[in-house]
Amino acid sequence: DAKTTQPTSMDCAEGRAANLPCNHSTISGNEYVYWYRQIHSQGPQYIIHGLKNNETNEMASLIITEDRKSSTLILPHATLRDTAVYYCIVRVVTGGFKTIFGAGTRLFVKA
Amino acid sequence: SAVISQKPSRDICQRGTSLTIQCQVDSQVTMMFWYRQQPGQSLTLIATANQGSEATYESGFVIDKFPISRPNLTFSTLTVSNMSPEDSSIYLCSAGQGQGSYNEQFFGPGTRLTVL
């Protein structure tokens, strides 16, 4: 699976958009970009995934660059409960897939 | 989505003993995994639990230390053998299901293990 690079930590004001970047310059054509988050003392939670088109769901939006070498997770209106570690992962979706976690970005949402 | 439960939720064990952690999924899943998360660190994949066959271990993890069973599509166990204080971690069970691009991986709440 391709490696990803994320900032170690970020701050965001409550009610503002949180934009979390991720670099995955060695991504393969058959690898998808996945985002998970881990709130303190809980197991990771799936957020969103995409291949090359931008994606949106009730939690977040995912913007993938045209060359697919980077992406941005957007939390449109961050709340205090969004304080967590966010993991950007690239992996295949067929066959024996497995998720390898990097260090992630620790997002602090402040009142 | 799949709901995953783990037993025990936490335990304190003595050096040299073994602990078996159980993972139960509320629906049949194709893939099950075990992860370790040491304090302040990210998750590290230990192995993929294969139904009806031996688990597939990641580099740095061996069957003698972390034997895994998966007797059916909803249940798996991880044993931490001959424990030392370095094994103190959170152990998380995970399950994956889906087809094509819709492919999700769910995580249990974890088992917090302290070895004295």
Rounded to a whole number, what is the distance in Å from the CA of A60 to chain B's nearest CA? 16
Rounded CA gap, B12 and B87, in Å? 11
Minimum CA–CA partner of A96 in chain B: B31
Residue with tokens 């197991």: A43
Mean pLDDT of all residues in B71-75: 93
What residues in B contact A51, CB-CB < 8 Å? Answer: 101
CB nearest A97 (choices: B92, B96, B106) = B96
% of residues, chain B, pLDDT over 70: 95
Q: What is the mean pLDDT of residues B48-60?
A: 90
The token duo for A81 is: 């409960």
CB A104 within 8 A of CB A86: yes
Please say whether the beta carbons of B105 and B1 come within 8 A. no
Can you give the pLDDT at residue B53? 84
- Check pLDDT > 70 for residue A36: yes
The answer to whether the CB atoms of A99 and B94 lie below 8 A apart is yes
* pLDDT for A68: 96
* pLDDT band for position A30 (cuts 50, 70, 90): confident
Contact A45 B107 (CB under 8 A): yes
Q: How far apart are CA A54 and CA A60, in angstroms?
A: 11
Query: What is the rounded average pLDDT for all residues in chain B?
Result: 92
**pLDDT tens digit sequence for B1-49:** 789 999 999 999 999 999 999 999 999 888 899 999 998 899 999 999 9
Does the beta-carbon distance from B106 to A51 stay under 8 Å? no
- Is the pLDDT reported for residue B52 higher than 90? no
CA distance B4 to B1: 10
Which residue from A44, A96, A97 is facing B107, i.e. has the nearest CB?
A44
A48-102 tens-digit pLDDT: 999 998 999 999 999 999 999 999 999 999 999 999 999 999 988 766 678 889 9
The token duo for A35 is: 């985002």
B9 touches chain A (CB under 8 A): no
Q: Select the residue from A34, A101, A105, A106 to test the B interface by mutation, using most B Cβ atoms within 10 A.
A: A101
Asked if B49 reaches chain A (Cβ–Cβ under 8 Å), the answer is no
DSSP letter for each residue of A79-102 = -GGG-EEEEEEEE--SSS------
C-alpha to C-alpha distance for A20 and A105, rounded to whole angstroms: 8
pLDDT at residue A70 in the model: 97
- Given CB atoms, is A99 within the 8 Å cutoff of chain B? yes
Least reliable range by pLDDT among B53-67, B80-94, B95-109: B95-109
CB burial class (10 A; 0-12, 13-18, 19+) of residue B32? buried
Residue A2: per-residue pLDDT: 63
Separation between Cα atoms, residue A83 and residue A38, nearest integer Å: 9
- Do A99 and B33 make contact, defined as CB atoms within 8 angstroms? yes
